[in-house]
Each structure stands twice: as C-alpha cells, then as structure tokens.
Structure 1
C-alpha cells in the first residue's frame, strides 16, 4: 500500500547533495524623509480690519497728486492767460485752491488704520470745509476791528473745525493721537481749500476786470502755507482729543490744545500788523517822523523791507512751535512685539 510523503523531495539535494540555503528576505526600510518629523509652518492670520496693527500700504500718491496737480494748474493758467477765456477762471481757482489740501487727504489715506478709510476722509474733507467756513462766517460777522478781533477769529474758526472733527470722529476706530492728527489734518485741509478759493476769487476781482496774475499769486502763497496753517492747527486739536479718549485725567490737555491752536491762529493772522509795528519801532527815527505826520520815502522803504523780513520770520517761528506741539500729541502708538513661538 502506497503512502503520501510528508514533504516534497528536495531538488537541491538531488542535484548536488547539499541543502539549499534560502535567500534572505528584503525588509523595506522607511525613507529618511518619512522618519524625520515634518516641520509645521505656523500660519499667521492677518490682522482684523479694525485692528490697530494693520500697516497700510504706501504708494506715494500724495506727492504724485501734488506734482500732477501743479502741472495741470500751470497749464490751465497758461491757457486762460493766452486765450483770455473767463470761463476757465473757475477751473484755475479750483485747481489752485484744492491742490495742496487734497494732497493732504492722499497723504493721510496711506497712514490711517482701522476703519478710517478713504470714504471717511473724503467726507471729513468736504463736510469740514463747508460747515467750517459757513460756521465761522456766521460767528465772525459781528467782530469789530480791534486787538481782540484776531483772537476771536482764531477761537471761532478752531471751534468750528473742532466741532466737525468730533462729529466725524465718533465712529472712528481705533482712537489715538496719531489717528486724531491725521483726521484733524484732513478737516483743516477742507477748511483751507474752501477759504483759499474765496481769497483767490476776491483777489481776481477788480474794477477793470479779472486780475489773473493777482489771483494766481494768492493761490500760490496760500498753497505753500496750507500745511503749516489750518492743517497743522486742526491736527494738533484732533490729536489731543483722540489722545484723551478714555483718559479722564487728560481732558485738561484738550483745553490746553484748543487755547494753543487759537493763539497760534491769532498770531498767524495778525503777524502782518505785528511785523509792521515792530519795524516802525526798530527803525528809530520813523516814530518821530510819524508823530508829525511825515514819513520820508527812504524811511518808508526801509520799514517795508524790515516788515517783510519780520513777517516771514514770525510765520516760521509760529510754524515751528506748532510742529513741536503736534509731535507731542500726534505720536504713533507703540506696537507690541509679537510673542516668541513656544519651544516644542
């Protein structure tokens, strides 16, 4: 009876008589990249739109607007002068009066944060300009020429601009000195634009027609002085107001800021009179000649030259004082340093 073998016959033993050694099995080794722990790069979430850490992009639109506007103003003035077309006079007035103030708006738009966007700045520019000029005109109508007239004008105009600033700034977030300075500068720029348009219009009107040269000169001078005039004064007041938000002990600083800008404004407006008075005093012999009602032409010329120098020096001193005051209240708040990543 035949049986079933327990194992298959070894072919290697039949062939050579020696037992075959089984080949070693290859064990798959993991890749080195698989063994190394994968580094996880933390994802930095952008700051919220209303946060105070969002850094606005700056493209230099303010100086591009300024240079392009100057070119347009010169072209418009040249065409108006060459063609004697009076229909172009409003174009020249608007370009010359709004050029520098609107450049201030562009400057502020690249430095604000939170919800103080371009739309709010445009509203502040036009509302601040229109209501500021109208309010000041209504309140100043009863002022009589005197020593106190300049102080009254300064206080009234700064109060009107400050009131517009408070209304527009209610919904602005965040509130700090830097934000207040930018918003205040825009409100002051709007006031300066509409006021300069009125001065240019009056300078161009004469009995013999339109004096284009006088109008252009007025626009040029007021455009150069705009940043250190209404723009600077309202920026100081706005910075003080926003810096005092939530700080009861600092509301006294708002009163000091208002008095300071009112005095600076008054000195600015009265500097021509002050410079002339000082020139007469410094000339010496002119006081005696004036007492007899006589003034020699040479003396009058020396007084006029000295008064012009004192006028320019006075405006420079007032501007420097204003810039120093603004640097105190209009500082950008310090940003907290980001926390170091935790060690793994």
Structure 2
C-alpha cells in the first residue's frame, strides 16, 4: 500500500500591495495614453477613479498585512475605507460650509473639523470590536484616512478637468500625480496616529476619551493645518527674508528668480518637516504597540458574559 504524504501548503502571495500598485499603475497609464490618443471624454471617470484610489488602496493593503489580531477581516477594512471615507467627506463638507469663514485660523479650523470627523467615524465603525489592539487601531485609522483622501483626490481631479479653455485632461493627470505622491503623508498618516492612540487608551467594552487622545487630536490637527497652510507660510517667510509686496490675490508682486527659488525651497522643506514629524510619531506608536503585552482573552469568551448565581 502506497504511503500517503501530506501535501505542501499553497504558497502565500508575497507582497500583495506591490501587485496591486503595479497592476493599478499599468491600468492608469494605459487609460492616460488611450484618453490622449482618442480624446474620448467617456474615459475621464475611469482616469479619475484609477488615479485617485491607486495609492490609497495600495497603502491600505500594505497596512492590512501588519494587523495585530484576526478581528480585522477584509470586510471590515473595506467598510472603513469606503463608508468611512464617504461619511468623513460628507460630514467635513457640511461642517466646514457652516462653521468656517475666511480668517487667519482657517487652516487650523479645517484640521480640527476633518480630524474630528474621521476620528468619530472610526470610533463608530469599529465600536463592536471586542479586541482593541493599538496596531489594529493604526491600520483601521489609516483605512478611514486613505478612504477620505481617495475621495478628496477624486474631487480635486474632477474640478481640475474644467478650465476657461475647455476640458483639460493634462491638469487631471498632473493633479493625480501630485496628490498620489503626497497621499501617504496626509489623511492616512494622521488618522492612523489617532487610531493607534484611540485603541491604546480604550477598554474592551468601549472607547475612552482620554487626555492623551485629546492631545493627539490637537497635535494631528496642527500637523494638518501646517500641511494645508504651508504655501502661505512659505510666502510669508519669503517676504520676510527678501522684502517685497503682494498682489491682491496674495502672490509676490514681480518676484525675482531668487524669491521664486526661495519660496519653492521653503514650501518643500516645510512639507518635508511636517511629514517627518508625522512619520516619526506613527513609528513610535507602532513600536510601543509592538512591545506592549497583550492580555489573554477570558476563558468564557468575548461575547457571552457569565453572571454569578442569584443575579
């Protein structure tokens, strides 16, 4: 009788996020080429959606591989990405329309509103989780943030399509390239930080609004405000260092080559500094979450409480 040997396990897919990115990038490039060759406006929605969702979906897939518990099923990630993104964009749009007016603190107000909305959506969509591991909070926060970023990029790309000279596919492509490069250092990063702090300061039964969470919310909102307002900050620093006046539209009047170069350097350096602070903060949270001991689940399970006799 022939001896039966166990079959080797099927090889796991290595780096699925890389396959998602490479395949999506190839499809986006093909769409760009065909759109320019044919001038077919029916391809514009495909171009906008592919370019807006490619980088956010890739980073969510990358973060999903670094989850801590088995409660993070693909369905939950998809729910936080899509539903969280839509609810966040809608709520932020409503609040900003009614609460914000042009002022010196406009960027900070945007940061406070959008980060509060994303945090509230994250807590609402994950309220039923029985194990609130900090690294899972980072992954779920990134999912909500990248969903928000993808929809926001789609809006910017769609708006860039319309110019005074007609439809401009070139501006759509430029907008998506720029937003794709900076996407990892924006909404996904900030909400990942909030998610890690939210989950690390909460109990198994409910979320807790702690002083640490409030400080993290204010800090993330400040990073958000600095990121959005870096162009204005760079402009003010350029005027302060070189002198000059501004136009009614807020630009430097008749800028010299030196002023233009200084402005570009200051803006890029400022964005890089904000991104570095955010990445360092998130890396520290992830390291602390990795070192923190995990409490074992009770013997009777998570979902069925046991009451003593007579109660």
**TM-score surpassing 0.5?**
yes
Kindly tell me the number of residue pairs found equivalent between the two proteins.
274
Q: Is the 8 A contact 2:202 2:208 kept in 1?
A: no
Question: Is 1:104 matched up with 2:59?
Answer: yes
Q: Tell which deviates more after alignment, 101-110 or 176-185.
A: 101-110
Shift of 1:58: 6.7
Identify if the C-alpha distance between structure 1 residues 154 and 249 changes in structure 2 by more than 3 Å, giving closer, same or farther: closer
Matched, 1:61 2:20: no
User: In the TM superposition, what are the counterparts of 1:145-160 in structure 2 within 5 Å?
Assistant: 145-160=102-117
Q: Please report how far the alpha carbon of residue 69 of structure 1 lies from its aligned counterpart in structure 2 after TM superposition.
A: 1.0
Candidates 241, 256, 268, aligned match of 1:312: 268
Report what 1:8 is aligned to.
none
Q: C-alpha separation between the residues in 2 aligned to 1:203 and 1:301?
A: 27
Any conservation in 1 of the 2:85–2:147 contact (CA below 8 Å)? yes
The CA deviation string for residues 225-267 of structure 1, in whole angstroms up to 9 with x for no partner, is: 1111000000000000000013999921101110011000000
- Determine the structure 1 residue equivalent to 2:285: 329
Q: Alpha-carbon deviation of 1:327?
A: 2.2
Cross-structure match for 1:217: 174
Match of 2:92 among 122, 132, 136: 136
Which residue does 1:127 correspond to in 2? 83
- Name stretches of at least 5 consecutive residues in structure 2 with no aligned partner: 1-11, 295-311
Give yes or no for contact 1:200–1:219 (8 Å, CA) kept in 2: yes
8 Å CA contact 2:16–2:61 kept in 1: the answer is: yes
Alpha-carbon displacement from aligned partner over 1:186-217 (angstroms, at most 9, x marks no partner): 10000000000000011111132211111101
CA distance in 2, matches of 1:176, 1:210: 47
Q: Which residue of 2 aligns with 1:92?
A: 47
State the distance in 2 between where 1:296 and 1:221 align: 26
Matches of 1:256 and 1:131, distance apart in 2: 24
Considering only aligned residues, what root-mean-square deviation do their CA atoms show, in Å? 2.2
Q: Distance in 1 between matches of 2:80 and 2:22?
A: 23
Q: Which residue is equivalent to 1:200? A: 157
**Aligned 8 A contact 1:128 1:164 in 2:** yes
- Deviation, structure 1 residue 330: 2.8
Unaligned runs of 5+ in 1: 1-56, 338-344
The equivalent residue for 1:261 is 220
Conservation of the 8 A alpha-carbon contact between 2:96 and 2:113: yes
- Name the CA shift for 1:82/1:183 in 2 (closer, same or farther; >3 Å): same
